[in-house]
Amino acid sequence: LILAGGRVDELSVLTLHRPKSAVFFGGMYRVIDFPLSNLMNSGIERVGILSQYRSTSLINHVGVGASWDFVGRERGVTLLPPQQGSSHTDWYRGTADAVAQNREFLEEYPHEHVLIVSGDHIYNMDYQELVRFHEENDADVTAAFVPVPGDDAGRFGLGDIEGEDADPGGPLVDYVEKPKRPLYNWASMTIYLFKRSVLSEILRNFAPPTGTFEFGRDVLPALIPKFKVFGWKHRGYWAYSRTIDEYWRANMDFLDGEGNLGFEKWRLRTNLDDKRLRERSPAILTGESRVTNSRFTFGCHIAGTVERSILFPGVVVEAGAVVRDSILFPDARVAAGAEITKVIADEKVTIGPGARIGIGNDTRANSVHPDLLRSGITLIGKDTHIPGTVEMGKNCIVPPFLNEEQFTESSYPAGVLVT
Residues 227 and 368 in one domain: no
Percent with pLDDT over 70 in the chain:
96
pLDDT at residue 265 greater than cutoff 50 = yes
Q: Could you say which of 203, 227, 259 is where a domain stops?
A: 259
pLDDT at residue 262 greater than cutoff 90 = no
In a domain, 269, yes or no: no
Report CA-CA distances (Å) from 107 to 27, 99, 337: 38, 12, 60
Rg of the Cα atoms in the chain: 22
In a domain, 417, yes or no: no
pLDDT band per the 50, 70, 90 thresholds, residue 260: low
Structural domain total, the chain? 2
pLDDT at residue 215 greater than cutoff 80 = yes
335 within 8 A of 355, measured Cβ to Cβ:
yes
List of residues 6+ apart from 104 with CB closer than 8 A: none
In a domain, 383, yes or no: yes
Q: Please report, for the domain that includes residue 189, its CATH number.
A: 3.90.550.10
Minimum mean pLDDT range among 26-40, 231-245, 254-268:
254-268
Could you give the residue ranges of the DSSP H alpha helices within 194-306?
A: 196-205, 220-223, 244-254, 275-278
pLDDT at res. 34: 96
pLDDT at residue 35 greater than cutoff 50 = yes
Residues 350 and 206 in one domain: no
Instruction: Give the mean model confidence (pLDDT) for residues 144-160.
Output: 92
The whole model's pTM is what?
0.93
Residues 323 and 217 in one domain: no
Residues 241 and 370 in one domain: no
pLDDT at res. 86: 41
115 within 8 A of 192, measured Cβ to Cβ:
yes
Amino acid at 245: D
Q: Over the stretch 84-93, which tens digit does the pLDDT of each residue have?
A: 554 554 667 7
Q: Could you say which of 227, 259, 291 is where a domain stops?
A: 259
pLDDT at res. 81: 82
Q: Over the stretch 297-306, which tens digit does the pLDDT of each residue have?
A: 999 999 999 9
Residues 312 and 240 in one domain: no
Q: Please report, for the domain that includes residue 398, its CATH number.
A: 2.160.10.10
pLDDT at residue 104 greater than cutoff 90 = no
Extended strands (E) in 250-342: 284-285, 290-292, 301-302, 305-307, 310-311, 316-317, 322-324, 327-328, 333-334, 339-341
In a domain, 316, yes or no: yes
pLDDT at res. 204: 86
HSE-CB at 366 with a 13 A cutoff on CA atoms is 22
Task: Give the C-alpha separation, 148 to 212, whole Å.
Answer: 27
Residues 22 and 76 in one domain: yes
In a domain, 274, yes or no: no
In a domain, 268, yes or no: no
More confident residue, 193 or 261: 193
Q: Over the stretch 277-333, which tens digit does the pLDDT of each residue have?
A: 888 999 999 999 999 999 999 999 999 999 999 999 999 999 999 999 999 999 999
Residues 193 and 99 in one domain: yes
Residues 136 and 38 in one domain: yes
Residues 249 and 340 in one domain: no
